[in-house]
């Protein structure tokens, strides 16, 4: 029986390798965890290296050893940050699965728009923690907790500035009603909010939505919403989607939360909106250029802005189903069946 080579690159548990190996007797798992760390450190910005690789130990391998291994690979399990030139060095490569959800992670690699099938964990990451992040951010600004940090520093209360509001019966616009957006919608609806949302294309609205509209109706929905959650992928169409026109459409005192990608928000337009007191608050787990540098100091210094370091999906219990998808897809691949969650290069996710 010919063995089928599956190369596992990201740092993951031994149990994951065993799980992949048990998919089919033909599967031969090549444990390449850490092999490419030296390359990643040399090719990614220091900010990314410090954030995601840190000082972890990695095995010493030569470029020749790595290239020989890649030459025999047909399927690769990839994590973050990705190796940038896999396609060039793996002539027999047919399929790559990326454990993160964002296809935009691969923009700076030679996999983007290549002939290789690439799948992601879109819609299968830790959706509940991300939804809780959104609702927690809404409540944080509703109760004026952001002002408590200011008062704590000054040792003086400014009671009038808190101006608390209740979220029940308020409208939230979920931009990008995919897997994560739907989870956000469910949690907000459970808190008594009216939920509207957008999708790239018109679709039948899940029961939790009072209205689900195509992306072209976003400004219309923003005009009727007090809260906004950005959950859409970053693509050519969504780059700076939340810009001057979107902020102009928002109600005064809107609370905006971004759990997707920083590049979706035009930060200069955001600063203008903050300067005009358009927003009650802005919470973001991402920011433009987050893999290269710290956030814009003007945002970090604003008391109405909360910035966290891409941790909205983190939790004490993991519900990430990316490995399960990879194993399911591996069975499909071996049987010659279509794979799930394949990136559409034209669409961008």
Q: Find the catalytic residue in 66, 211, 240, 310.
A: 310
Closest C-alpha to 261, from 281, 283, 232: 232
Scored b (16 or more CB within 10 A) or e, 68-100 reads ebbeebebbbbbebbbbebbebbeebebbbbbb
Q: Which residues contact 342 (CB under 8 A, 6 or more apart)?
A: 117, 118, 119
Q: Which residues contact 70 (CB under 8 A, 6 or more apart)?
A: 7, 86, 89, 90, 93
Phi, psi of 134 (to 5 degrees): -65, -50
- Catalytic position from the list 183, 263, 267, 290: 290
- 310 is a catalytic site residue: yes
Query: Which one, of 306, 308, 307, 303, lies nearest residue 150 by Cα?
Result: 303
Q: Residue 206 — φ and ψ, nearest 5°? A: -60, 155
Active site residue 290: yes
Contacts of 188 (CB under 8 A, 6+ apart): 131, 134, 135, 138, 167, 172, 174, 195, 227, 229
- The CA-atom distances, in angstroms, between 198 and each of 170, 174, 218, 321 are 17, 6, 6, 25
Active site residue: 33, 194, 261, 280, which one? 261
Active site (annotated) includes residue 74: no
Catalytic positions? 261, 290, 310
């Amino acid at each position: 029986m010919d063995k089928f080579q599956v190369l596992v690159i990201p740092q993951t548990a031994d149990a994951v390798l065993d799980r992949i190996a048990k998919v089919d007797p033909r599967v031969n798992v090549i444990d390449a965890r850490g092999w490419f760390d030296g390359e990643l450190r040399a090719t990614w910005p220091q900010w990314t290296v410090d954030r995601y690789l840190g000082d972890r130990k990695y095995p010493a391998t030569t470029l020749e050893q790595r290239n020989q291994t890649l030459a025999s690979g047909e399927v690769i399990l990839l994590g973050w940050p990705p190796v940038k030139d896999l396609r060039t060095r793996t002539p027999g490569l047919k399929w790559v699965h990326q454990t993160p959800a964002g296809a935009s992670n691969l923009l700076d690699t030679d996999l983007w728009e290549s002939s290789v099938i690439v799948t992601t964990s879109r819609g299968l990451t830790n959706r509940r923690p991300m939804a809780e992040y959104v609702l927690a951010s809404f409540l944080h600004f509703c109760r004026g907790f952001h002002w408590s940090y200011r008062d704590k520093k000054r040792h003086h209360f400014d009671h009038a500035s808190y101006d608390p509001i209740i979220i029940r019966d308020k409208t939230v616009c979920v931009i990008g009603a995919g897997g994560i957006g739907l989870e956000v919608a469910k949690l907000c609806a459970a808190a008594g909010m009216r939920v509207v949302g957008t999708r790239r294309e018109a679709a039948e609205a899940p029961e939790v939505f009072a209205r689900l509209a195509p992306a072209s109706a976003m400004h219309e929905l923003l005009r009727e919403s007090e809260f906004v959650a950005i959950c859409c992928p970053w693509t050519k169409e969504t780059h700076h989607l939340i810009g001057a026109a979107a902020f102009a459409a928002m109600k005064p005192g809107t609370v905006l939360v971004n759990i997707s990608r920083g590049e979706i928000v035009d930060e200069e337009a955001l600063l203008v909106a903050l300067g005009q007191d358009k927003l009650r608050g802005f919470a973001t787990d991402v920011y433009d250029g987050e893999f290269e540098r710290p956030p814009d100091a003007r945002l970090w210094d604003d008391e109405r802005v909360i910035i966290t370091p891409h941790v909205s999906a983190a939790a004490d219990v993991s519900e990430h189903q990316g490995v399960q998808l990879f194993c399911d897809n591996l069975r499909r691949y071996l049987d010659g069946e279509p794979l799930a969650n394949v990136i559409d290069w034209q669409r961008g996710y």
